[in-house]
A and B are shown apart, each in its own frame.
Chain A
Amino acid sequence: MNDKKPLAQAFTITACSEDSLLLTWPEKISLSQHQKILQLQAAIEHKLSKVLIDTVASYHCLMIYYRFDKITMLALQNAIQAMTYTLVERESNSPQNERIHTQCVNIPVYYDIDNNWDLHDVAHQCQLSIEQVIRLHSEKIYHAYALGFTPGFCYLANLAPPLHLPRKATPRTSVPKGAVAIAEQQTAVYPNTSPGGWHIIGRSPIAMYQQVSGKFVPTIKVGQTVKFHAISKTDYQQLALAEQRNGKSVKNQQELADE
């Protein structure tokens, strides 16, 4: 890939609704492309904070929600394009493949050997053994591409090709908190009970977010790397219990602070 290509040619900018502008890159899951998206997002957040409502990054898009009473769509578009030229200059001076977040998030998983969920079904559909599915899922280092669907739900890619399956034909009306799931080239942990159409291959006992001083802090931030590792059922139960107790004690502190 030609990394010296100016960012401005790499994406299109289109107005969506009254207060939204969409930046679209080629539709693919690419680490280097995503890093450019996150760099541009950071620059936009830094420079245009006064006119921004929010920015949301995904695999190949960046949605800008803006105060259209404070800036016109064209002025915003021009400001963003001006920024991309500056970023290209900076890029040629800095080391390539520099990650925004260097810390890897490690997620313990009790893989669903007991067949309470979809692990056996996934193995069957992919024509693999259970052990092979677990190995393929846990040996990879994933990149966090987007936060969405529900608070703290993080889309991770790329899942090893032998595990690629379409979403379930009939989504579940209820997926448990901590469910570790796969669909297509993605994997994720469901932060809370919710409907869900992905294949559940295990359960994680750790929380996918914290509430800190009235702020919501996701466990996995966009741009981070993530790795799963297998734990035993006993370890899972112990960790889940500790997490439950921890969550309760944190909540009590909050309540005390409010009174």
Chain B
Amino acid sequence: MNNNYLAVTKLNGALTLQDLGRASTQHLGFSVSGAADEYAFLSANKLLAVDAVNAKNGLITPNSHGLPVSEPLNHGAIELTFGQATFTTSANCVIAITGADCAATINDRAINNWQAHALMKGDSLVFSRPLSGVHSYLAVQGGLSLASSSALWLGSHAQTLNEMPLAFSGDKILAGSKVYFPNVQQMYQPEESHLVTTLAENFYAKKQLTLRFMPSTLFQQLTVEQQALFLTKHYTISAQSNRMGYRLIPNNVRSEQANSAIISAQLRQHVTLSAPVTYGAIQMPANEQPIVLMKERQTMGGYPTLGYVMKTDLFRLSQMRPGDAIAFVTTTLQKSQQQLTAFYKKFSRC
């Protein structure tokens, strides 16, 4: 039973509980959902991994989570979006904060992002609106959950906005809500690591991001001119972007760009039936403003798909803001799989 909690005393912005989502129930219509930025989410988890902590302290304990040590730790964490929030803890705990920098403080004392910190009973943790980035993550050692019994819904804590009416993954987190965590196994003062911060800075893009995507069959059917048109355009992230998808506005610098369609009317006629869609699918509605599907996408879609953005670039994309610049370049399945494998290896606990 998780009896300890972080009380949300102030909140302005979206706050949800996330983990790596529920990928095995798409056939029932459930969105996979999960942390928008897996780099930050997994970093927060890794900073608090019991194995890592015990290894550092010279203790070796059997794997308490049941996961093979090569799998990254997947405890529920808070995802705060453009967040301003204040938390008070009911018990001592160790936390980790990552993602968009919220100039966090504990009892008004500034604490570093991308680090673990000790939080003592009664302490006040404040997040201010980040100057850059979108999502911030707050993890507590042992994992966060919503009900005091830490129930998972279909294997995940992830909350999906469209699925809140089902009331299966807990209530919407508001000021006054409590988010629970287990008794701390071993209270300690975490050491700060400079390496984690440097690696994080190297992972993300600033203001401009080129998305590497695996072309679809449809893309391969386009003429060379149409493909070039798509690849040479520059796009701006629109304000109509969210956890479901990022809508991109093409910058039609040259007049001929504005008049040519990437997908011809003839080709568009053939794609009408709803079909399953994946994370990272580049959807092209009739207005040719591409939509890149993100974590909370629906499982089925009806627009033509030009290709699939590689996952590591999607994690980067999730921290880009409306107004930022986007471009596309093709890549291969092999390269994408290699990148993702290397990515997850970083977060395995051995």
Q: Report if A59-B163 is in contact (Cβ < 8 Å); known contacts: A18-B311, A148-B298.
A: no
- Complex Cα spacing A73 to B337, Å: 10
Digitize A22-46: 1 where CB-to-B-CB distance is under 8 Å, 0 elsewhere.
1010010100000000000000000
- Complex Cα spacing A6 to B154, Å: 37
> Which residue, of A29, A54, A68, A192, has the highest number of chain B Cβ atoms within 10 A?
A54
- Note all chain A residues with C-beta closer than 8 A to B300: 56, 58, 146, 148-149, 155
Q: Which residue of B lies closest to A218 (CB)?
A: B28
> A138 at interface (Cβ–Cβ under 8 A)?
no
> A58 touching B276 by the CB < 8 A rule?
yes
Q: Which of A56, A60, A151 contacts B163 (CB 8 A)?
A: A151
- Complex Cα spacing A152 to B27, Å: 9
Q: Smallest CB–CB gap between A64 and chain B, Å? A: 10
> A224 at interface (Cβ–Cβ under 8 A)?
no
- Note all chain A residues with C-beta closer than 8 A to B27: 54-57, 147, 222
Q: Which of A22, A150, A193, A216 contacts B25 (CB 8 A)?
A: A216
Q: Smallest CB–CB gap between A176 and chain B, Å? A: 11
- Complex Cα spacing A53 to B276, Å: 14
- Note all chain B residues with C-beta closer than 8 A to A216: 25, 28, 30, 154, 168
> A16 touching B341 by the CB < 8 A rule?
no
- Complex Cα spacing A6 to B193, Å: 60
> A258 touching B149 by the CB < 8 A rule?
yes
> B299 touching A56 by the CB < 8 A rule?
yes
Q: Report if A17-B26 is in contact (Cβ < 8 Å); known contacts: A150-B162, A258-B151.
A: no
Digitize A181-200: 1 where CB-to-B-CB distance is under 8 Å, 0 elsewhere.
00010000000111000000
Q: Which residue of B lies closest to A216 (CB)?
A: B28
Task: Supply 17 further A-B pairs (C-beta < 8 A) apart from A24-B217, A65-B26, A151-B28.
Answer: A14-B216, A15-B333, A17-B280, A27-B270, A54-B27, A57-B27, A59-B274, A59-B275, A63-B278, A146-B300, A148-B26, A148-B300, A151-B29, A153-B29, A155-B274, A155-B300, A216-B168
- Complex Cα spacing A59 to B271, Å: 12
Q: Smallest CB–CB gap between A27 and chain B, Å? A: 6
> B273 at interface (Cβ–Cβ under 8 A)?
yes
Q: Smallest CB–CB gap between B106 and chain A, Å? A: 33
> A177 at interface (Cβ–Cβ under 8 A)?
yes
Q: Smallest CB–CB gap between A112 and chain B, Å? A: 21
> A98 at interface (Cβ–Cβ under 8 A)?
no
> A115 at interface (Cβ–Cβ under 8 A)?
no
- Note all chain B residues with C-beta closer than 8 A to A63: 275-276, 278
- Note all chain A residues with C-beta closer than 8 A to B168: 211, 216
Q: Smallest CB–CB gap between A16 and chain B, Å? A: 5
The secondary structure that dominates the B interface is: mixed
What bracket does the count of chain A residues touching chain B fall in? 35 or more
> B23 touching A18 by the CB < 8 A rule?
no
> A61 at interface (Cβ–Cβ under 8 A)?
yes
Q: Which of B25, B147, B273, B336 contacts A60 (CB 8 A)?
A: B273
> A16 touching B214 by the CB < 8 A rule?
yes
- Complex Cα spacing A65 to B162, Å: 22
- Note all chain A residues with C-beta closer than 8 A to B278: 16-17, 20, 63, 65
> B165 at interface (Cβ–Cβ under 8 A)?
yes
The 9 closest A-B pairs by CB, nearest first: A148-B300, A63-B276, A17-B308, A56-B276, A151-B29, A148-B299, A192-B165, A61-B275, A59-B273
- Complex Cα spacing A210 to B308, Å: 34
Q: Which residue of A lies closest to B149 (CB)?
A: A258
11 A–B contacts, CB within 8 A, in A order: A12-B217, A18-B337, A22-B276, A56-B26, A60-B275, A147-B28, A148-B299, A148-B300, A149-B299, A153-B29, A177-B165
- Complex Cα spacing A22 to B26, Å: 14
- Complex Cα spacing A63 to B297, Å: 15
- Complex Cα spacing A27 to B24, Å: 26
> A73 touching B162 by the CB < 8 A rule?
no
Q: Smallest CB–CB gap between B281 and chain A, Å? A: 8
- Note all chain A residues with C-beta closer than 8 A to B298: 148-150
- Note all chain B residues with C-beta closer than 8 A to A15: 214, 333
> Which residue, of B26, B163, B281, B298, has the highest number of chain A Cβ atoms within 10 A?
B26
Digitize B111-152: 1 where CB-to-A-CB distance is under 8 Å, 0 elsewhere.
000000000000000000000000000000000000101010
List residues of B (278-324) whose CB comes within 8 Å of A's CBs: 278-281, 298-300, 308-311
> Which residue, of B270, B309, B336, has the highest number of chain A Cβ atoms within 10 A?
B336
